[in-house]
Structure formats: structure tokens, C-alpha cells
Structure 1
Amino acid sequence: MSSIEIHQFMCRKDNFGVLVHDREHGTTLSIDAPEEAPILSALQEKGWGLDYILTTHHHGDHVEANEALKARFGAEIIGPGREQDRIPGLDRPVVGDEHLILGEVLVETIDTPGHTIGEISYHMPLAQAVFTADALFSLGCGRLFEGTPQMLWDSLKRLRELPDETMLYCGHEYTATNARCALTIDPDNLLLRERATEVEHLRAAGKPTLPVRLGQEKKTNPFLRADDPDIAKAMGMEGADPVEVFAAMRKRRDSF
């Protein structure tokens, strides 16, 4: 049984804050630092300190509180080396396929560029969790601000290789809008329709739609299935290269 506890909460308008705590050794990590006050409140509620900040990418709504939290707790900031000049307070640049031991927490880094040029996702195999920020969302994926469709499609293929039981934590509460778009692509997918209904009920009750099991996403998220002939057919793109199908889906999502 894992000694790791994961605590998720809201920051800003629709960002998720996430704390990962090793109960046995007392180590606490924050996935990104979108806003100081909610993170401090969560730490105080739990009675935890803060040892590490795992930065996924340089966007301001993910790094805003880096320096304030570093000053308060002395936390070490780890983040993508390809964006090191744009990440406040960065102490340790990393690339994909690194294995980090933070306290006693094993963290595997995964290159997931596309939303930004250097975005990194963090996989914690013992906790059966992956933190994908703005690369992969439930029923969607990140907007292409800096990278290409090929880059982000390759990133999503890396993420879908993780075990089905992995719990997916994302950077934003975008699932309801993603569901509406996904249903225009894959309307006959019963599992997707069930997930969309679940999302609607969760949001109506003021509850988060995350985390979600990655195995469920592999069956319901069309962006993870751009190489599925059924998705290409639904997009009117039979026989097209999966990257072209992916790009067309992402363009459709941009209009929602």
C-alpha cells in the first residue's frame, strides 16, 4: 500500500492545485504553483510543509507562486530544462526520461511538448498517478501555443502508454467543455456519453471532474485515439495521417 496522499483543490479561476505528500517520510511536493493563497491554505489545513515544486511549463498561471513559496519554505523548484530561462526560481532543470527520488517519492519525467515547447509531465508509479498539466486534459488536450500537432500527438502517445490504472491529474477544470466537443467527434461512443453525463452532474454539484482513470480516458478521449480509423471516419478523414486527424480535432476544439 502506498504511503502517498494526494490532495487536489482549486486555484485562480479554473486551475487545479495539487499537493503530494509522503506520510511515512513527511515529504511534500506541489505540482506547479498557480496561486500562493490557496496553496498555503491547503498546506495549513493538512499540517504539511513544502519541500519541492514540480513545474510543468512556464505559463504564468502555473508558476505565479514559485518564488513566494520558495522564499517561505525553502522549496526546491524542479522544471523543464528547455524552458529554464522562463521559470521563476528554477533550481533543477530536467528533461524527459529522468528518474527523481524526492525524499522517498519516485518521480518519472515525461517529455510532453506541444502546448509549450518544453512541457514536462510527472509520473509517480508507486502512487499510480500522472500529472499532465496542460498537455492532456480529461476528454481533451492542450491548445497549441508553441508546438506543432506532431509534437503534441507524440506527447499524448507517450502518456497513453502508461498503465490503465494510473490516475490522471490535469492543470485545469475544462472537462465539461471538452465533453461537448468530444461528443461532436465521437457521438456514438456509449462510454463517452456516460462520462459526459457524469461530468455534467459533478459540475452541477460543484465537484471536480478529476482525477480520472487513464484507462477510461483511453476509451473516451478522442485526442488519445487520433490513429483510430473510427475517429478518422467520424471526422470525414478516412485514410488520413493520424497527425492530420489530430490537428483537425484540435482546430475544432479551439472554436468551443
Structure 2
Amino acid sequence: MNNINKFQHFPFHLVDPSPWPILVSFSLLNMAIGAVLYMHGFQNGGILLTLGFLLTASGMTLWFRDVITEATYLGHHTKQVKNGLMIGVVLFIISEVFAFLSVFWAFFHSSLSPAIEIGGSWPPLGITPLDPFAIPLLNTFLLLSSGAFITYGHHALIAGNRKGAIDGTFFTIVLAVIFTTLQYIEYSDAAFTFSDGVYGSAFYASTGLHGLHVIIGTIFILVGFIRIINYQLTNTHHQGFEASILYWHFVDVVWLFLFVAVYFWGGA
């Protein structure tokens, strides 16, 4: 990557040619094809899926490494560039809102007017739903607490309280890992599977999609945590950390809708 051109008369960053976008694109295509082959029982579909995942993860890691280098060491992220990045994050989260909207649409389409094929009732006959006041309620407290901790860490960073920023972010990561572990236990103990009709499909599609977002958000915050420890983030320069916080609050809000709709009302 080149240094900032001293003759550049605008505050925007012209990105140097990078191999990572095209690599990630083909890796995602490889992972999608592998997932389809694996779920339909084709030979070596699992190997192709694993290869696609590893290539995607590697490409994104190297891509984000370059972005962090541009921001931290090369000084490319001016105020205008940071505004553009935040707009991109907001648009990305909006796209995620519509992804969850489609899942909720499928859930309410079947639950509000159950078809005769599933017994005309919701949950369908033969399905034993999970107790919303067991692990789901505990996970609700964990996720809301994690949102409070990451907000505390953010305000501590702005105030120049390095220890508070590290502690708040660390406890957020711990709570997120506990949340994911409990959801795994919940899935293991569930009396129904993804293939158990529309209820199983709607339940695992919605909660599983959210669980995937929790894992991604945890990694997102973990990167910010490491950068705080390495003195790469300051009270005026922490755009990536703010993006991870915004993403995490989105995950929190979606979980509240999931708890009320899928666990509490949908399992009643």
C-alpha cells in the first residue's frame, strides 16, 4: 500500500488494488455450493463446504488486516472516510433487518393461521416446544447484560478510561460465549429437529440465524478488544469498535423479538 499522495487535494481514500474481494467472492460461492451438496447428501460435499469456509475466513481476515493497517498506521481514514464506512455499516445492518424480516414472515405465516395439514394448531400436534422461562430467559438476561457491558466499555474508551474499556469489552465477550454455549445445549436437548415440519424449520431458521449473528458479533468485538489492548484505538479513533457495538445492539434487539414471538408466544 502506498503512502498518502502529498499532491492529493481531497480527503477520500483511493483503495489500492487488492486480491481479497475477488477471493472472498469465489470462496463464498464455493461455500454455498458445498453447503447445497452437503445438505443433499452428495459425496465430498462436506469437504467442499469446509474448504469454502476456510477460504472465506482466511480472505476476510487478510482483507480486514489491510483495512486496520490503513486506519491505524497509514492514516487513510479521515473524517470523511469514517463517515462513509459508518454509512456502509448502517446499510449492512438494514440488509440484515430484512433477512430477519423474511424469517419472521415465514414464522407468522404458518403460526397465525395454522393449516389443516399440521393439525390446525400452533405448535403443531406432536411438537413439544421449549420452555421459554428456562434457557431462553437466561440467555435474554445474558445478552441484555452484554449490551450494557459493551456500552460501558464504549463510554470508558471515550472518557480515556483504558481499564474500563478493556473490562467492559472482556465481559461482553464472556457473556456472548456463554450465550452461544447455552444455545448449543438447548439445541442438543430439544425434542424436535429442523426436519420436524414447519415448526422445526421456522424455529431453527430464526434462532439459528440469530446464533450465527451472535458468533459473528463476538468475533467483531474480539477484534476491537485486541486492538484496545494493542493501543490501536483511542477516544477519537475507534470507528471499527463503534461498528461492532452498533451490530451487537442490533443482535440484542432481534433476540427480544425472537424471545417474545418464537419462544413465548409461538410455544404457548
- Normalised-by-shorter TM-score class: under 0.3
Q: Which has the higher strand share?
A: 1
Higher RCO (CA-CA < 8 Å; seq separation 6+):
2
Q: TM-score scaled by structure 1?
A: 0.25
